[in-house]
Amino acid sequence: MADIHFVRKAMIEEQEPPAATTGVAGWIRENLFSSPLNAVLSILSLGFVVYVLSALLPWVMSPTWSAASLNECRELIGGGHGKACWGVIRERWLQLMFGFYPKELYWRVVLDFALLLVAVAPVLFNTLPRKMLIFSAIYPFLMPWLLWGGSIWNPVVAAAGFVLGFLAHKYAKPVLGGLTAVILAFLVPVLWWFLLAGPVADGLASVLPLALETVESRNFGGFMLSITIGVVAIAISLPIGIVLALGRQSDLFIVRSLSVGFIEFIRGVPLITLLFVASTLLNIFMPPGTDFDIILRVIIMVTLFASAYMAEVVRGGLAALPRGQYEAADALGLDFWMAQRLIIMPQALKISIPGIVSTFIGVFKDTTLVSIIGLLDPIGLSNSIRADQAWNGVVWELYGFIALMFFIFCFSMSRYSMYLERKLQTGHR
């Protein structure tokens, strides 16, 4: 019997994949019901979520936004306790946001934080025009003037100190050498700020008085205070942490010893202790009659605390780099600072992104500790609100609102860090 062979002359048309493997059904099958164990766990988890939402949603969906007191809330919900009293948020949300800042000056706070978004945008997203970085450099001097007010010449002469330090370094380096130029770049601004800035600002104010209404620090509070402390501490702690990390790895004994001593001392002391030092002890070491703003003292201590932790995060990134990167920089003939700026530090910071953002989130959440030293952050304001007889007994609503606001800020930072990691990903998956 002869063999019969069949050769296909036409290809079969491509068919659609099974419906159970694509779309929503495919995702559910792959992620929730891929095995008997996963199916059981998914069903149990779904039941737990339904149980929680069935108890939570009636509490949240409470018709008490118009209430003016806790008693009115109870009347609106029929005398029960199973629903939230949102009237306290409607009545006190401005206080939770701005503290006791004058109401007619709220526009300054809103403008200040709107400009903050403009200032950080070119730093966070390099697709924006680089010229916007000029405003990013100006904003640190504009922010305190908008919040605290006073003469416009105070931030101007403060910025002039940095300009003088830059000019001193630029013109001293070719003549006196790099180390002397760095020392002058540090000494010239310090001498300017301590000796000349005050008289120059007063003289300019007498000639051209441009000023905003002054607001005392005791009027600061709520999320405005937390954001102010958090943003300043986050922005300053990163460069200080980088310097400390480099100092800890330095071959110079004095520089390494000072860096190690500072980092270990700060990391070994609780933040609340540093805040008590800022609020009570720091004025003892100042000259008599010195008025050192309490918020400025807190910002300094929180910044130093964050810088010590940031230094260890950056040092971990530096330690993770292969030795070949340093050797490649030496082979290219780069000096120390050029090697750090162009080769070492960009890679170390990319490796350290998760730790850096975790430190940022921790610093922002730690701003609530200032309530212990008498500053009225959102937690401190919630205590004063509950001290009002009309709202005595309201707890979960206030803390829930505060937690939601902190979650929005911290979750945004976390999402941005993940976006940045994906953008800078250069390895193979």
Query: Do 249 and 182 contact (CB within 8 A), yes or no?
Result: no
pLDDT band at 81 (very low <50, low <70, confident <90, very high): low
At residue 404, the pLDDT reads 92
Q: Model-level pTM?
A: 0.83
SS (H, E, C) the chain: CCCCCCCCCCCCCCCCCCHHHCHHHHHHHHHCCCCHHHHHHHHHHHHHHHHHHHHHHHHHCCCCCCCCCHHHHHHHCCCCCCCCCCHHHHHHHHHHHHCCCCHHHHHHHHHHHHHHHHHHHHHHCCCCCHHHHHHHHHHHHHHHHHHHCEECHHHHHHHHHHHHHHHHHHHHHHHHCHHHHHHHHHHHHHHHHHHHHHHHHHHHHHHCCCEECCCCHHHCEHHHHHHHHHHHHHHHHHHHHHHHHHHHCCCCHHHHHHHHHHHHHHHCCCHHHHHHHHHHHHHHHCCCCCCCCHHHHHHHHHHHHHHHHHHHHHHHHHHHCCHHHHHHHHHCCCCHHHHHHHHHHHHHHHHCHHHHHHHHHHHHHHHHHHHHHCCECHHHHHHHHHHCHHHCCCCHHHHHHHHHHHHHHHHHHHHHHHHHHHHHCCCCC
Per-residue pLDDT, averaged over 288-310, amounts to 84
Buried b (16+ CB within 10 A) or exposed e, 259-285: beebbeebeeeebeebbebbbeebeee
Residue 153 scores a pLDDT above 50: yes
Report whether pLDDT(360) > 80: yes
Evaluate if residue 165 carries a pLDDT over 70: yes
> For residues 163 and 293, which has the higher predicted lDDT (pLDDT)?
163
Q: Is residue 50 predicted with pLDDT exceeding 90?
A: yes
Rounded CA separation 329/395 (Å): 58
- Nearest in space to 118 (alpha carbons), one of 102, 99, 133, 107: 133
Mean pLDDT of the chain: 85
Q: What residue type is assigned to position 319 of the chain?
A: A
pLDDT value of position 4? 64
Q: What is the mean pLDDT of residues 45-49?
A: 93
pLDDT score for 210? 85
Residues 6+ apart with CB under 8 A from 421: 353, 354
pLDDT tens for each residue of 335-347: 777 888 788 888 8
Whether residue 418 is predicted with pLDDT greater than 80 in this model: the reply is: yes
Q: How many Å apart are CA 368 and CA 160, to the nearest integer? A: 34
- Average pLDDT of the segment spanning 194-205: 86
pLDDT tens string 223-237: 999 999 999 999 889
The reported pLDDT for the residue numbered 191 is 87
Task: Quickly state the pLDDT bin for 20 (edges 50, 70, 90).
Answer: low
The pLDDT value given to residue 21: 66
Sketch the domain layout of the chain as residue ranges: 21-61, 92-101+217-424, 153-212
pLDDT of residue 428: 45
Percent of the chain with pLDDT over 90: 20
Q: Does domain 92-101+217-424 have CATH number 3.10.20.600?
A: no
pLDDT at 48: 94
Residue 230 Rama label (left phi>0; alpha psi -120 to 50; beta): alpha
Neighbouring C-alpha atoms within 13 Å toward the C-beta of 191: 9
Q: Is the pLDDT of residue 174 over 80?
A: no
User: Taking 60 as the threshold, does the pLDDT of residue 1 lie above it?
Assistant: no
List residues bridging with 150 in a β-sheet. Answer: 212
CA distance 210 to 187: 29
pLDDT tens, position by position, 313-334: 998 888 888 888 878 887 887 7
Q: How many whole angstroms from its chain centre is CA 397? A: 25
Q: Indicate if the pLDDT at residue 197 is higher than 50.
A: yes
Q: What is the pLDDT of residue 2?
A: 59
pLDDT tens digit sequence for 91-129: 889 999 998 999 999 999 999 999 999 998 888 887 888
CA–CA dist 349, 330 (Å, integer): 20
Residue 288 has pLDDT above 70, yes or no: no
429 — pLDDT class (breaks 50, 70, 90): very low
13 pLDDT above the threshold of 80:
no
Round to the nearest angstrom and report the end-to-end CA distance of the chain: 56
Rounded Cα distance between 226 and 409, Å, is: 11
Per-residue confidence (pLDDT) for residue 5, from 0 to 100: 63
pLDDT of residue 58: 86
Task: Tell me which of 30 and 156 has the higher pLDDT.
Answer: 156
pLDDT at 3: 64
397-412 per-position pLDDT tens digit: 899 999 999 999 999 9
